[in-house]
Amino acid sequence: MRQFGAKLPKFIRLSINVNHTILLNLLFMFCMLTISFNGISQSKSEKLGIKTIVIDAGHGGKDPGCHGGFAHEKHVCLAIALRLGELIKAKYPDVKVIYTRDKDVFVELIERANIANRAKADLFICIHANAGSNVAYGTETYVLGLHRTEAQQKVAERENSIISLEDDKGAKYKDFDLSPDAIIAKQLQLSVFLDHSIMFATNLQREFKRIGRYDRGVKQAGFLVLYKTTMPSVLIETGFLTNPTEENFLGKNEGQEKMANSMFKAFENYKNQIEGKSTISDSSPELTQPEPIKEDKKEQVNNSVTKDSTGLIFRIQIETSDKPISVSASRFKGLEIFEYRENKLYKYCTGLFQNDLQAAKNYKVELIEKGYNNAFVVAFLNGERISIEKAIKLAEK
> Which CATH number goes with the domain that contains 61?
3.40.630.40
Do 262 and 308 share a structural domain? Answer: no
Would residue 242 count as lying in a domain?
Answer: yes
Q: How far is CA 134 from the centre of its chain?
A: 29
pTM (2 decimals)? 0.57
Counted domains in the chain? 2
- Sheet with strand 233-240: strands edge to edge: 96-99, 52-57, 123-130, 233-240, 139-144, 215-221
- The number of beta carbons lying within 10 Å of the beta carbon of residue 48 is 7
Question: Taking the mean position of all CA atoms in its chain, how far away is CA 224?
Answer: 16
Q: Residue 23: which domain range?
A: 10-274
Judgement on whether residues 24 and 147 belong to the same structural domain of the protein: yes
Last residue of a domain, one of 215, 239, 274: 274
The reported pLDDT for the residue numbered 190 is: 53
Q: What is the pLDDT of residue 166?
A: 62
What is the model's pLDDT at position 307? Answer: 38
**Residue that terminates a domain, selected from 274, 307, 339:** 274
Q: Select from 243, 274, 305 the last residue of a domain.
A: 274
Note whether 336 and 389 are same-domain residues.
Answer: yes
Predicted confidence pLDDT, tens digits, the chain (397 residues): 333 344 444 444 443 344 433 443 443 344 333 333 333 333 443 445 799 999 999 999 999 999 999 999 999 999 999 999 999 999 999 999 999 999 999 998 889 999 999 999 999 999 999 998 898 999 999 988 654 445 545 544 545 555 555 666 556 555 555 555 554 554 455 556 888 898 999 999 999 999 999 999 998 876 777 878 888 999 999 999 999 999 999 999 999 999 999 999 999 999 988 887 744 434 332 222 222 323 333 333 333 333 345 689 999 999 888 788 988 888 888 899 999 888 778 899 999 988 888 888 889 888 988 888 878 888 998 888 888 878 887 877 6
In a domain, 1, yes or no: no
**Bridge partners, residue 139, by sequence:** 215
Alpha-carbon distance values, 195 to 21, 145, 341, 388 (Å): 24, 12, 22, 11
Please indicate, yes or no, whether residues 124 and 250 belong to a single structural domain of this protein: yes
Q: Are residues 185 and 66 in the same domain?
A: yes
* Residue 225 falls inside a structural domain: yes
Indicate whether 280 belongs to any domain: no
Expressed in angstroms, the distance from the first to the final Cα of the chain is 56
Q: What is the DSSP string of 340-386?
A: EEETTEEEEEEEEEET-HHHHHHHHHHHHHTT-TT-EEEEEETTEEE
- Mark whether 303 and 260 lie in a shared domain: no
Does 316 lie in the same domain as 252? no
CA dist 244 and 113 (Å) reads: 32
pLDDT for the residue numbered 186: 46
Considering the domain boundaries, does residue 289 fall inside one? no
Q: In this predicted structure, what is the pLDDT of residue 155? A: 45
Residue 310 sits in the same domain as residue 358:
yes
Residue 233 sits in the same domain as residue 376: no
Does 215 lie in the same domain as 97?
Answer: yes
Any domain includes 192? yes
**Predicted local distance difference test score (pLDDT) of residue 328:** 85
Question: Do 352 and 246 share a structural domain?
Answer: no
Residues 31 and 177 occupy one common structural domain: yes
